[in-house]
Amino acid sequence: MTFAIAIDGPAASGKGTLSRRLAAYYGFRHLDTGLTYRAVAKAMLDTGLPLDDEAAAMQAARTFDIANMHRDVLAAHEIGEAASKVAVMPGVRRILVDRQRDFAATGDGAVLDGRDIGTVVCPDAPVKLFVTASPEVRARRRYHEILGNGGQAQEDVILADIRKRDERDMNRADSPLKPAEDAHLLDTSEMTIEAAFRAARRFVDAALNENS
């Protein structure tokens, strides 16, 4: 059986970096499920259809190539905004969750990160982490990331945006962002990525020992 690591948390909490490092360390495959919502959003934006056209969004969710999602293209701010709107539609979520479960069930191990991995996609995952950081810390990180990539940004605009996105992700009716009951909470506000990685490894190693 595949060993799954479920990692959830809000935007810019550090869960993506942590997931990639864990996947590389344990030799597991990694799926950033946010990219799947972004891929659907991009398909909708490309065709010019209204974002709330659920039938068209479901069709896009069935057909996009999950093995060929380009993080650099899908990272665009307007795609993120559109993704959080697409993500409220139950029909789209049903299809994407099925595709994410297929990914999780293939190979020896998989790390999936998103908003509902521990609660909906992989409720039986032996390791669940819920990664958080204060909105201010997340806005600062995002701000430095954008500057580091040669872009321009305003920290207060990013903060307002993060708050708006949290609100939408935590309050939607279908699969809102919340920790699974058996998730380990990891608040990275005052942690380096190295410290978060070490803490996460302790949880994973303990679960691997139990499974062996």
Residues in the site for ligand DC, rule: CB under 6 A?
Answer: 11, 33-34, 37-38, 80, 83-84, 87, 114-116, 165, 169
Nearer to ligand DC (CB atom), residue 145 or residue 208: 145
DSSP code of 110?
A: E
Instruction: Write down the least CB distance from residue 39 to ligand DC, Å.
Output: 10
Instruction: Write down the least CB distance from residue 19 to ligand DC, Å.
Output: 11
Instruction: Write down the least CB distance from residue 197 to ligand DC, Å.
Output: 19
Nearer to ligand DC (CB atom), residue 44 or residue 83: 83
Half-sphere exposure of 77 (CA within 13 A, CB side): 10
190 φ, ψ to 5°?
Answer: -115, 25
Instruction: Write down the least CB distance from residue 115 to ligand DC, Å.
Output: 4
CB-CB contact of 98 with 62 (8 Å): no
Q: Which helix (H) or strand (E) holds 46?
A: helix 33-47
Q: Which has the closest alpha carbon to 115: 194, 6, 2?
A: 6
d(CA 177, CA 33): 13
d(CA 136, CA 87): 24
d(CA 142, CA 127): 27
Instruction: Write down the least CB distance from residue 131 to ligand DC, Å.
Output: 11
Instruction: Write down the least CB distance from residue 148 to ligand DC, Å.
Output: 18
Nearer to ligand DC (CB atom), residue 73 or residue 206: 73
Nearer to ligand DC (CB atom), residue 33 or residue 59: 33
In degrees, rounded to 5, the angle at the alpha carbon of residue 105 between the alpha carbons of residues 199 and 86 is 85
d(CA 84, CA 88): 7
Token pair of 22 as six digits = 């864990």
Nearer to ligand DC (CB atom), residue 83 or residue 110: 83
Nearer to ligand DC (CB atom), residue 11 or residue 18: 11
